[in-house]
Amino acid sequence: VATTCGGAVTAAVGGGTVVLGAGNSIPANGSCTITVNVTSSTASGLPVTNTIAAGAISVNTGAATNSNAATANLFVNALPPVITKSFAPTTVAVAGTSTLTFTIFNPNNVTLTGIGFTDQFPAGLTAVNGNATVCGGPANNRVISGGNLITVTGGTLVAGANCTFNVTVTGTTFGAKINTTSAITSTQSGTGDTSNTAILNVGVANLSLAKTDAVAAVTPGGTTTYTMTVSNTGNAASAGLISVVDVLPTG
């Protein structure tokens, strides 16, 4: 706490009162200031109003006082909600399905309302199921538009809670589908971060190579047969991409 008024000013740490004591003075047609740092542990998204009432200032040189109240508002915002997402399984065949799971967490000691975000799918990824009610929101507050845009609005989470909901998706084209939500928001916190990046691999070949020898040993000048086996344990054809090079050792 500090003052340009002179005299003693007190504001106990953890307290709720600021007092300008004896020994101060204000020049004619002048002013002075009192400055104090404050904090709040209650986040509401609503203003905390601090008022010095009319007539609250007293002086020892007469009856002068403040004829009007002095009011200031402080908005104490909550931490934004946190959103994560994942695919299970992470690899599917073309036209196969995967479950996309969203998890939203409230890290505050107050309830968050108006929770919302959007999720625009990349090309070749489509939602299978439709609208629903999620995370304590109003009816059908999860809307899927065009099969590839998810919009969530009006979610509610009490302090320290989380909610989880699923969307079934299908991959319609080959490739890695890289997906991240928009920044998540709430009424009490404003804008938070985007989700982590989740990847769904659609129609990916998974190749392995094994090599065997027909005999354990041969004499110099003898022959043997090597067999190389290429296996694809993925869910898509290799599409002519296989190339095998075997460099034989000296001798």
Q: Which residues of 13-38 are buried (b: 16+ CB within 10 A; e: fewer)?
A: eeeeebebeeebeeeeeeeeeeeeee
Counting every residue, how long is the chain? 251
Q: How confident is the model over 135-165, as pLDDT tens digits?
A: 999 999 999 999 999 999 999 999 999 999 9
- Residue 234 in this model has a pLDDT that exceeds 90: no
Identify the pLDDT of residue 239.
60
DSSP state letter for 132 = B
The rounded distance, in Å, linking the Cα atoms of 126 and 119 is: 12
- Residue 191 in this model has a pLDDT that exceeds 80: yes
Phi, psi of 206 (to 5 degrees): -130, 100
Instruction: For tokens 């939500």, name the residue.
Output: 181
Identify the pLDDT of residue 223.
92
Identify the pLDDT of residue 130.
94
Identify the pLDDT of residue 236.
65
Identify the helix (H) or strand (E) that includes residue 142.
strand 142-145
